[in-house]
Structure 1
């Protein structure tokens, strides 16, 4: 992969906390305009990796490039080209949903902050609640608002750390749709998730982080080829609980 095609490059990344090695030689690259999923169990180092890439944490050693810049020595340049949604919603509860979005739009120096806010409120189904204080929002609504705030200004690279945690099935589908649309329009997305189905649906490439190292990295088809061929069996497919829920909710709304 050439330098111009690479949005994120990580080589031999190491990070330890007192008496606890977390990353022990992580290597991967992310192509521009693609979705890269980083999978791993709790404590595997996913969030630590994102914190290093987004300038929130310094690595012990290794080479890191984000949009052509070193997060350690060029943090301002990196921050201008990225956006980050962490595991917990970082919204101002005193402000309304709309005010939260307008504030971020002004900080990013957009010419039409109100218009940007209204577009995102509609996209995430928050228009009706837009003039309520965010402190009155449910956990899922706060999460949707948090993700919407991270999209202000169309960042070149978007980091999503378990973005659908705490969301109901409908909200998860909305978020996944928006993430896919972002990649289709050129935004590079690096996401961590515990929902394997999410990685299957969204990711162009998937890496598995285990005991401080990437132990597998490839497209879904490439990862499937690592296992013996599946046997062909004919079974009656039952709907998933998510499909049942969405079908019932959809029929109620139609009435």
Structure 2
């Protein structure tokens, strides 16, 4: 497929931060591949919303944890072999569990799947981007990777910390190829996945945050889009925490 627009692939792009990022990148002129695993309806709704606003987008189903599917997804996303932005937003699901009750297999699966969701896509994207001498990769991590520790979050925090470390190594190797690699680490974000959290908890969190509210998906999406833009052309290997300043006062 031929297009005059730069191309972006957003994994887990059908809901929450991924959906907001897909819309934000499309609004900035990108042709967006909206990846989803099982929620086809939500992905198609994101695409329709983008198209209604004059943007260009299409939905692609793939399990990014599977190397073969991830490789095919990247190939189908890249118009004429061109990929300008890769946003690795799809992570591995988990159930908060204290370490003493957490089975090794569940811990290992969380950490392995978190990296698997980004690894093959990163390898293939580096090849495509290096051929053009430019590109942007953004990983979506979590502020919990740097603590303070929270009950039941050992697997999630360890997995995201591993993703952060991986991103720094990729940034080091990708820099000479003209590719910028960064991480966005949100704190609590009001999404479908966090809808079960009591309003009292969200209110207390907002009160302990300097900006006096919790994040919306659009808050994170705008930072991701910024990292995809030219204004951050000399920024790479960084982890940007998006938590409204909550990390300033916690401890």
Q: TM-score, normalised to structure 2's length?
A: 0.31
Greater share of helix residues, 1 or 2?
2
Q: TM-score, normalised to structure 1's length?
A: 0.31
Greater share of strand residues, 1 or 2?
1
